[in-house]
Amino acid sequence: MSDAPLTLLADQAAYAEAVQLALDASAAYYSNGESPLDDDAYDRLLRGIQAYESEHPDEVLPTSPTGKVAGGAAVGDVRHIAPMLSLDNVFGAQELIDWAAGLERRLGRPVTQWSVEPKLDGLAIAARYRAGRLVQLVTRGDGAEGEDVSHAIGTIVGLPDRLADPVTVELRGEVMMTTSQFEDACAKRQAHDGTTFANPRSAAAGTLRTRERPYVCELTYFAYGALPMPGDTSELAVRLREQPHSEIMAWVAGQGAQTTAATPVAGIVASEVERIQARIEEIAAARAGLPFGIDGIVVKADLAADQVQAGTSSKAPRWAVAYKLPATEKITKLLDVVWDTGRTGVIAPTAVLEAVELDGSIVKAATLHNVADIGRRGLMLGDSVVVYKAGDVIPRVEAPVVHLRTGEERPIPIPEVCPNCGGEIDRSQERWRCVLGRSCKAIASIQYAVGRDQLDIEGLAENRVKQMLDAGLIEDFADLFFLTREQLLGLDRMGEISTDKLLAALELAKTRPLSRVFCALGVRGTGRSMSRRIARHFGSMAAIRAADAEAIQAVEGIGPEKAPVVVAELTELAVLIDKLVAAGVSMEEPGFVPAEVAAVAAVAEGEAVVSVVLPLTGMSVVVTGAMSGPLETLSRNEMNELIERAGGKASSSVSAKTSLLVAGEKAGSKRAKAESLGVRIATPEEFAALVADML
C-alpha cells in the first residue's frame, strides 16, 4: 500500500464533492491558470478519489477525473497529431521500484536503458514547425485536442522561430516562467491593476492564453520530446520513431530548441534502478538553486522498442512515470501580521499563517520583508496566499491568490510608532527603522556583538548584559572594554572568579581580527562572510572608514545599492568605533596584503623572485556536515575564516563554480549535488592536511 499523501473521503457525498472540486480546479487551471488548489492539494485530492473508487467501484461517477488527461478539463479545438498524455505519479523510492518492476514484467525482459530528467513545473505545449519555421503552438488540452496559442510566438525564450534544419516536426515541451521572468511579470501586473500573479506556474498558464494585454510577459520553453508528422516517411521521421529518447533530445538541442542539457539537472541515461534513485536525489538537491521550478523527476524507458511494446493507457504512457518531490509552495491563509524591531532598529513584519505542511515541515509564519513589499504584493489580512519554501530558505509569502478573495479581507495595519519602544519611525528608506537605531534594542545588539562568531566573549549572558544596562555601566558593546574590576564586583552575583574570567575574556576579545570586529558592528547589508571580504580588501578600519561608496563597491558582492548603505552605517557608528579604538581593540586584519602587490606576492632571493601561492588560491570552497579530526572544534564561521586565510573563497552553496566540497559526517544534499556536478570532494582530515600551515 502506498504511503503517499491523500485526502480521505468518508462517504459517497464526500466523494462526489471531491470529484466536483477536482473538476472545477482542473477547469480553472486549464482555462486561465487560476486554480483554487495548489499542486500538492490537487494531488492529495486525486489520490483520495482514486482510493475511494478502488474500494467502491460501483459508485464511480462518469465525471471522475481519474484516468483522464488534464483531470477531465476539456479545453481547445486543435487536434493533436498523437495523444498528448499526462504522466502517472509515484511518491517514493519503493513505489518507483515497484513501477519499474511492473514495466519489466509487462515487457518480459529487463529495461537496459532508463532516461532520468527533471519534471518541469509549467504548461505542456506542442510546437509545430514546417520546413524549419515555427507555425503553430497548441496546449495539451484534454490530450486529444488543445487550444491554439500561436499568438505567443516570439515571446518565449528557448523556442526558436526557425530550427537549424528546414525540417517539418513537432517539438513537445514545457512553457514556464523563470524566477526573474516571474518577478518582472508581477511588477508589470502590479503597475497595471495593483495585483500580482500567485506563482510562476499560474502566471505562465494565464500569460500564454491571454491574447490582449497592455504589457508583454516573457516566457521560457524547455523541450522534452519530438514527433514526426503523420504519414512522414523521411529519414528524420524514421529516426524520431526508432531512436532512443536520449538521442532524440540531443538532436532537438542541436536544432536550437532549449533543453535541460545545459542546466545542473540535465537528463541522463541509467542502466539500473539504483542509479535512477541516485540521480533523483541529485536533482532534488539542486532544486533550491535552480532559476526555474521543478516538481519532480520523469523516469522513462529510453529505447523506442520498449516504449512501443509497453504502450499507453487512456491517460498516460506505461513506459514513463513522474517521481513527485515534496511541495515547496502551498496555498494557506494569512491570519495576522506581527511587527518587530530588530537589533539594528529595523522594523520588520512577519506573516502569521494558518499552519501548513511545506517541504517536510509545519509552517506557521513567513517573512514579509517590509511595508513596501506588502504594498507591492497587494496583501490583505484574510487573504489566501501562496507560501514558498526552497531548500533551507526561510518560508516567504509569495503573493495573494486574488481570485479566491471573498470580500471579507481587510487592510494590514501598519505601525505608526516603533513596536518595541513606542518611539518615532524613520520612513526615509524601504526598510523602516526606529529613530533610536541600535539603542532601541541594545540588549540584542550587544548580544550579537559578543557572540562566538564575532568577539566571542564568554560570560556575557543576556541577563548579565541587561544587568549592566540597568546599572548604567554600558550603553553599547564598546563600553564593555572600559569596565573596571570594582564595577563588575558591584553587580549582583558577580564574584571575584567570574569577574576575573570576564576581564580576561574582554582582553582576549581586543585581539580579534578586524573581520570579527567589523561583523560585531552589525552593519546593515553585511554579515560574517561579507565582513571578512571587507576586512581583507581594506586591511584596516581606518581604510574602511576613509572609503567612499565607489571604493566600498569594489568589494566582491557589494553592489551600487548596498555600498551607500554601508557608508551611511559607518558614519552612524562613528562614536562606537572611536570608543573601540580608544579601548585598544584591534583594527587590523592579520595577513593583509595591499591590492597593488597582492597579484604577485613575492620573496626576493638574490635575483630570483619566488611567488607565494596559498593552498586555496582561486578556489571556491563549500563546507558541509560535521567536522572531525583537527577541524572538530571549529565552528562553521571559523572554517570559513580558515578557507579565506588559505586564499580561497568560502561559499554556502554548491554550484558548477565550486572547486572543492569539504564533506563531513551527514553531508547530505550538498554532497549529492557536488557528485552530480563532478566537484572535488575532501574529508575533513584531507582538507586539514591541505591547509595545515594555516591551522
Asked if 587 contacts 540 with a C-beta cutoff of 8 angstroms, the reply is yes
Asked if 377 contacts 397 with a C-beta cutoff of 8 angstroms, the reply is yes
Asked if 122 contacts 204 with a C-beta cutoff of 8 angstroms, the reply is yes
User: Using CA atoms, how far apart are residues 23 and 613, in angstroms rounded to an integer?
Assistant: 66
Strands (E), 243-305: 268-270, 294-301
Give which of 130, 128, 126, 127 is closest to 167, Cα–Cα: 130
User: Using CA atoms, how far apart are residues 225 and 251, in angstroms rounded to an integer?
Assistant: 10
Query: Partners of 129 in the beta sheet?
Result: 134, 169
Asked if 165 contacts 256 with a C-beta cutoff of 8 angstroms, the reply is no
Asked if 255 contacts 163 with a C-beta cutoff of 8 angstroms, the reply is yes
The gap from C-alpha 269 to its chain's centroid, in whole angstroms, comes to 27
Give which of 630, 92, 13 is closest to 326, Cα–Cα: 92
Give which of 258, 254, 250 is closest to 223, Cα–Cα: 258
Continuous segment of H or E residues that includes residue 378:
none
Q: Which three cell numbers stand for residue 394?
A: 526561510
Residue with cell string 515541451: 173
SS3 156: strand
User: Using CA atoms, how far apart are residues 669 and 326, in angstroms rounded to an integer?
Assistant: 15
Count of beta carbons in the 10 Å neighbourhood of residue 285: 22
466 is known as an active-site residue: no
User: Using CA atoms, how far apart are residues 563 and 429, in angstroms rounded to an integer?
Assistant: 15
> CA 587 → CA 388, 509, 535, 582, 638, distances in Å?
42, 12, 9, 11, 19
User: Using CA atoms, how far apart are residues 648 and 616, in angstroms rounded to an integer?
Assistant: 5
Q: Which three cell numbers stand for residue 257?
A: 530548441
Name the phi and psi angles at 189, rounded to 5.
Answer: -70, -40
**First-last CA distance in the chain:** 54
Continuous segment of H or E residues that includes residue 46:
helix 39-55
User: Using CA atoms, how far apart are residues 243 and 28, in angstroms rounded to an integer?
Assistant: 38
Helix, strand, coil percentages, rounded to 5, for the chain = 40, 20, 40
User: Using CA atoms, how far apart are residues 323 and 281, in angstroms rounded to an integer?
Assistant: 11
Q: Which three cell numbers stand for residue 161?
A: 522561430
Which residue of the set 68, 119, 300, 389 is catalytic? Answer: 119
> CA 480 → CA 461, 507, 560, 579, distances in Å?
13, 10, 35, 10
> CA 242 → CA 117, 248, 303, 304, 551, distances in Å?
20, 9, 8, 5, 61
Active site residues: 119
